Structure 1
Amino acid sequence: MLPDPALALWREWETAHKLTERLCRRQQRLEARLVSSVGFPCVTVCLPEGEDVTVHSIEALNEVLGKGPDMAALRETAEADLAAHQACWDAADEEAGYTAALKAECEAGYRAQDLLEAFSTIPATTLASVAGKLDAVLREGEAWEECSVFPWPQ
């Protein structure tokens, strides 16, 4: 019996897909731990009108406060507080390995996607490879249930 290239690619994809899922769960656990211990980097600014606004970036801070000189002192304090919170997040991230886990998950996901694309172009020549293609399509369909492009290329 001749080797079935589609079946071999499905096996590679399945391995990569499972790795991506494991790495995703690990990254999510680490992120949850960071959020509960440090919180997402942010700062709450009390505007002169008395309204409190929480921002998560310098860009958002500049949008809320503007760049005018009348807000310079408030902006400077808020920027320093945001930088301090970001430093706490970065230190906790370094210790926990969150960014490394996120990077590993992304790389595994790209590998799985590349394999899926290659797999989708190879004809199924056996019942096993037809089943593999159906399996891949159904699993990807679960991940993209709100995808407006149907049928999927795979």
Structure 2
Amino acid sequence: MISDRDKSTDICVSGFLGDVIISVRSYILSGKNQLVIVMKGKALNKPTPLNLANHAYWNLGGQNSGNILTEVVQIFGSQIIAVDNKLIPTGKFVYVKGTTYNFLKPQSIGSRINHLAETKGYDINYVLDVEKQKKKKLAATVQDKKSG
């Protein structure tokens, strides 16, 4: 387990509506081959939207195995959050059916990536399909044909 201390930020630095304290409490590798990242954020003096994300990039084929375009992805999210021309989320939910972002059925990352010339890739947020129960549910799968 790795931990980090709380980091605070202000409106001038990060564009939040008010002061925010953000922390990454821990990175945990579980016995079930899961990476668990515990992140927390709190608005200190004004309500502010906050979307904590980790931007780790994985190549399941391993180091020096080439690009990830043949890796097969399935994402259990029937909507994405639309973005503006600077890739900033607008808050509008858009259904993926009939779009380049539809990974409801397994397919390779590279199968339609050429349709994303403006963004040069999949740089968006998916809205996961979840039930009203608050239990964990599979969000996505990724498989590399060579490594499994």
TM-score class, shorter-chain normalisation, is under 0.3
Larger radius of gyration: 1
**TM-score (normalised: structure 2):** 0.18
Task: Answer 1 or 2: which has greater strand percent.
Answer: 2
